[in-house]
Amino acid sequence: GQCITACPVGALYEKENIKDVWKAIYDKEKYVVVQTAPAIRAALGEEFGIPVGTSVTGKMVAALRRLGFDKVFDTDFTADLTIMEEGTELISRLTSGENLPLMTSCCPGWIKFAEHFYPDMLDNLSTCKSPHEMEGALIKSYFAEKMAMDPKKIVTVSIMPCTAKKFESARGELSNDGLQDVDLVLTTRELARMIKEAGIDFENLPVEEFDNPFGESTGAAVIFGVTGGVAEAALRTVFEILSGKELETVNYTAVRGLEGVKEAVIELPNGMTINSIVAHGLGNARKALDVVRNGEKQYHFIEVMACPGGCVTGGGQPIVDSEYRMDHDIRLQRASAIYAEDESKVLRKSHKNPYITKIYEEFLEAPNSEVSHKHLHTHYVKREKFWK
Ligand code: SF4
């Protein structure tokens, strides 16, 4: 059943979609494509008795394949693409001086909050769709074209850390040519239930790789799952583009950790400075935004995530028992799984992803081009009623 509450960020918009996904998988007419957010791999294992803080990327891919999905893609690919699009947006706003600070747009809880409480600042939001919406749009255009397939036959499923993503996927503006970018969203807990229903022995699954063309990603993409990650990923790319120099130390530690509001000042070799602020939890977002609204301080870039800690502790993630939580901070444990995955990657900057270069050459032309605006960008609306 569907339960719509008066939650202003849509995080409590709870609708179970397991049956819908099974139905699509069993429908021979449909081609069902799944993608998984960065935060899922850092927590799914907990549902199967694997210790908190263990990344289970390869087993998760193997499980999705055994559930019957036709392709298993990674939302991390479009996290890299988001950096290309949002980084370019930041550079053009820094040049024009308009609509600064640029505010991130990948958290639908935060977007809805801004639409209700900061409608005067909607032009500051990045116009980028969130990464899984970008991927849904590309699956039904670029990928469908490559496969010579009717996009109407494709069902796009996203595994996401929160129920706010269910609300987001139903937004009318997140569609193209009458087709919704993302058709169905399952939370991490719902995916775990499907794996259990199918009788899959998760712990003993082999480690498998994502499918291409949306399977390759850099370390910059995986850190989207934790507070400060989008800012860090953007700074890695924007630094190199603006300075024309190779960034040697890629870790921007100032935006890491659990402090409610974090600030980082990035000095570029050309004397330019980028002031960033990172807030997680909506109370902290209010504090950061009020400073901007009152003109107390000037910032260029703001990252907001509605959940304290970021997506690793989103509302759709596994529930860890309270006794364990008394002795351990699961936000830090899951974040450490994410940072370890970033460290393990050969490529750690979004603009170095070869599949990103390829998709611009073959389809999108250039960041912020007309084609990329058609598929990857959106707009926002002032909202008054909490349930809309
Ligand atoms: Fe969802 Fe929370 Fe992540 Fe926002 S921060 S996208 S509400 S899990």
* pLDDT digits 0-9 by tens, 35-47: 999 999 999 999 9
Report whether pLDDT(388) > 70: no
pLDDT of residue 84: 97
- Is 165 tagged catalytic? yes
168 part of a folded domain:
yes
Helix spans in 198-305 (H): 219-222, 229-243, 282-293
Active site residue 209: no
pLDDT at 309 over 80: yes
3-state class (DSSP) for residue 222: helix
Q: Is 307 a catalytic residue?
A: no
User: What own/partner pairs with CB < 8 Å and gap ≥ 24 does 242-246 have?
Assistant: 242/91, 242/268, 242/270, 242/272, 243/268, 243/269, 243/270, 245/269
**Amino acid code (one letter) for 321:** D
Rounded Cα gap, residues 39 and 188, in angstroms: 9
146 in active site = no
- Average pLDDT over the chain, rounded to whole? 93
**Count of domains in the chain?**
1
- Asked if the interface predicted TM-score (ipTM) of this complex is over 0.95, the answer is yes
- Residue of the nearest CA to atom 7 in ligand 1? 109
| pLDDT at 12 (0 to 100) | 52
Task: Classify the C-alpha dihedral 335-105-64-341 as positive or negative.
Answer: negative
**pLDDT, average across residues 247-272:** 88
Give yes or no for residue 269 having a pLDDT over 90.
Answer: no
Q: Is residue 381 part of a domain?
A: no
pLDDT for position 275:
94
Neighbours of 173 (CB within 10 A): 11
| Pocket-testing residue among 305, 319, 331, 334, ligand 1, by greatest number of atoms within 8 A of Cβ | 305
pLDDT (0 to 100) of residue 5 = 39
Q: How many angstroms separate the alpha carbon of residue 161 from the centre of ligand 1?
A: 7
pLDDT of res. 3: 38
For residue 145, give the CATH number of its domain.
Answer: 3.40.50.1780
Instruction: Answer yes or no: 89 catalytic.
Output: yes
Query: Domain containing 94: what range?
Result: 2-374
Identify the pLDDT of residue 15: 78
Active site includes 96? no
Length of the chain: 388
> What mean pLDDT do residues 66-89 have?
97
Whole-number pLDDT of residue 250: 85
* Residues ≥6 apart with Cβ < 8 Å to 252: 228, 231, 232, 235, 236, 264, 266
The pLDDT tens digits for 147-173 are 999 999 999 999 999 999 999 999 999
Q: What is the mean pLDDT of residues 2-9?
A: 43
Distance CA 293, CA 120 (A): 9
% of the chain with per-residue pLDDT over 70: 95
Distance 222 CA to ligand 1 centre (A): 14
pLDDT value for 268:
81
pLDDT tens-digit series, residues 46-77? 999 999 999 999 999 999 999 999 999 999 99
Residue 385 banded pLDDT, cuts 50, 70, 90: low
> Residue 6: what are its φ and ψ, rounded to 5°?
-90, 25
Q: 388 in a domain, yes or no?
A: no
Rounded mean pLDDT, 94-122: 96
Tell me the percentage of the chain whose pLDDT exceeds 90. 87
Distance 160 CA to ligand 1 centre (A): 9
* Planar angle of CA 135, 185, 17, nearest 5 degrees: 150
The residue behind tokens 């022995």 is 201
208-230: average pLDDT: 96
The pLDDT assigned to 2 comes to: 34
Give CA–CA dist 31/25, Å, rounded: 8
How far, in whole angstroms, is CA 240 from its chain's centroid? 22
User: pLDDT tens digits, residue range 19-32?
Assistant: 999 999 999 999 99
Q: pLDDT of 336-347, one tens digit each?
A: 999 999 999 999
Residue with the smallest CA separation from ligand 1 atom 6 is 107
Residue 387 lies in a domain: no
Distance 91 CA to ligand 1 centre (A): 26
Residue 204 lies in a domain: yes
Mean predicted confidence (pLDDT) in 345-362? 96
Tell me how far apart the alpha carbons of residues 93 and 355 are, in angstroms, rounded to a whole number.
26
Q: List residues near ligand 1 (CB under 6 A).
A: 11, 107-109, 161-162, 164, 305-307, 310-311, 314
Band (387; pLDDT cuts 50, 70, 90): low
